[in-house]
């Protein structure tokens, strides 16, 4: 017999968008059910952002310890022999972090009064779905629906996932470090994991179809990352297309203007990171009558509402906003409040984008080129991390990093901030707040920044934009 349930809010997907929406809806007193096919936390927490950052951190520690094992050591510290990696131990440590966060999300949902159902939802119509769970089938009727189904890795038709061809998900669960790793796709996911595995001891090669890796960033921001790739011995092949796998499991590729000249790269594992696509198949999207774009994203308005009344879509599945976890969370909180009767719309002034390579890249707001293209009279200031005391103590200056500020020349309103360097991701909140609040250069210049911190570099970059930085000439 099918169990029957009714609720005011039904959330599909317990990722960073869905679980935030469900928690906020519960806080607002709405009867809420959230359905998740795997573990609460979604791609970001369970198999993406969090586990990848854990692995990146461990890889950096191993790399640092390796320097201390060399003759003479490093920082006055030496260890008697090379550091050894137990990959299964690393994966177990990473899984422990994921498990703690997963349980934390489950407890937060419970305390907010949202009911979590583990199972796969399939929609019958726009507001009715059947959930197949371990305890049997459940039919749920909802007054409002929030779709937070997320996205999945894009698969190459001539190089499908399976065996030694893996996505980022499988890369985070490898029991051994591959001797030779070929990364197909030189975007942020490929380079984050490629650099991590290079630190862990893999011979890493990157194949990128564009003329440069990280093509969404300008040359000045990319340069420190490109130099570090070279220092690590990562072989980067740009302007090339992967063609497939040969009988020995190696990767075949060719330059875009020499398609007949097939070359081969030795590979124990092939990590395909050519993007992500909306998770729009197999759960009844067609039955809901919801409009989608030509690329399969659900079309929504400024309130994340679809064409069906009472049905909303947030996060990677929605056409509005970039595929970023913090976008999804912001949208989820907003939609819950809209359903509760609050007047809200999703129109952020600035959304930070971060690449956790070594060095890290942060971009918020407009670049100098974008600002000029939009007709702003632009002034730009830059401050090198090599002139920041705290950066020196953490060796963050070794990457050739900097902070760059873009502002209007006439009224000094800050339009954008870009940074590259070790640990700069932790400064992204201040960058975003300045732009979101319409701060002027003088607002930041007049704010006392604690010493010694890397945040002083932002202060100095603003002073440089005004023409009177203190710690550079």
User: Active-site residues: which are they?
Assistant: 451
Q: Which residues are bridge partners to 18 per DSSP?
A: none
Could you tell me the two tokens for 402?
Answer: 């900097």
Full DSSP string of 196-209: HHHHHT-EEEEEES
From 269, 201, 285, 194, select the one nearest 236 (Cα to Cα): 194
**C-alpha separations of 407 from 414, 426, 448, 457, 472 in Å:** 4, 22, 20, 16, 20
Q: Are 312 and 336 in contact (CB under 8 A)?
A: no
From 439, 437, 462, 443, select the one nearest 349 (Cα to Cα): 437
In whole angstroms, how large is the CA radius of gyration of the chain? 24
Give the span between the Cα atoms of 297 and 282, in whole angstroms: 15
Q: Kindly state the DSSP code that residue 269 receives in the 8-state scheme.
A: E
- Tokens 């300045």 map to which residue? 434
Could you tell me the two tokens for 317?
Answer: 């599945």
């Amino acid at each position: 017999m099918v169990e029957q349930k009714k609720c005011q809010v039904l959330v599909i997907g317990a990722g960073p968008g869905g679980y935030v929406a469900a928690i906020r809806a519960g806080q607002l007193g709405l009867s809420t059910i959230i359905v998740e096919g795997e573990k609460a936390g979604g791609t970001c927490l369970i198999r993406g952002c969090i586990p990848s950052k854990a692995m990146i951190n461990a890889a950096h520690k191993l790399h640092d310890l390796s320097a201390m094992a060399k003759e003479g050591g490093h920082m006055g510290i030496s260890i008697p022999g090379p550091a050894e990696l137990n990959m299964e131990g690393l994966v177990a440590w990473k899984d422990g972090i994921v498990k703690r966060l997963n349980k934390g999300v489950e407890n937060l949902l419970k305390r907010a009064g949202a009911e979590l159902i583990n199972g796969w939802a399939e929609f019958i119509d726009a507001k009715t779905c059947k959930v197949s769970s371990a305890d049997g089938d459940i039919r749920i009727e909802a007054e409002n629906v929030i779709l937070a189904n997320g996205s999945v890795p894009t698969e190459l038709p001539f190089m499908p996932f399976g065996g030694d061809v893996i996505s980022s998900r499988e890369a985070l669960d490898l029991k051994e470090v591959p001797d030779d790793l070929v990364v197909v796709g030189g975007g942020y996911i490929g380079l984050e994991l490629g650099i991590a595995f290079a630190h862990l001891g893999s011979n890493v090669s990157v194949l990128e179809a564009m003329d440069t890796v990280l093509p969404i960033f300008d040359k000045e921001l990319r340069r420190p990352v490109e130099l570090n790739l070279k220092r690590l011995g990562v072989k980067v092949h740009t302007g090339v297309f992967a063609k497939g796998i040969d009988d020995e499991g190696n990767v075949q590729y060719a330059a875009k203007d020499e398609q007949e000249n097939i070359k081969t790269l030795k590979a124990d594992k092939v990590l395909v990171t050519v993007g992500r696509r909306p998770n729009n198949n197999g759960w009844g999207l067609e039955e809901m009558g919801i409009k989608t774009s030509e690329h399969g994203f659900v079309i929504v308005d400024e309130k994340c509402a679809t064409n069906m009344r009472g049905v909303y879509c947030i996060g990677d599945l929605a056409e509005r906003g970039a595929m970023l976890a913090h976008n999804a969370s912001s949208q989820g909180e907003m939609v819950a409040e809209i359903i509760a009767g609050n007047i809200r719309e999703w129109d952020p002034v600035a959304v930070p984008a971060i690449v956790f390579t070594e060095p890290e890249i942060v971009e918020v707001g407009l670049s100098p080129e974008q600002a000029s293209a939009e007709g702003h009279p632009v002034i730009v200031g830059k401050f090198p991390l090599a002139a920041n005391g705290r950066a020196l103590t953490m060796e963050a200056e070794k990457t050739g990093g900097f902070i760059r500020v873009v502002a209007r020349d006439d009224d000094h309103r800050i339009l954008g901030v870009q940074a590259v360097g070790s640990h700069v991701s932790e400064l992204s909140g201040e960058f975003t707040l300045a732009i979101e609040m319409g701060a002027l250069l003088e607002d930041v210049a007049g704010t006392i920044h604690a010493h010694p911190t890397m945040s002083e570099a932002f202060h100095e970059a603003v002073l440089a934009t005004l023409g009177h930085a203190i710690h550079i000439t």
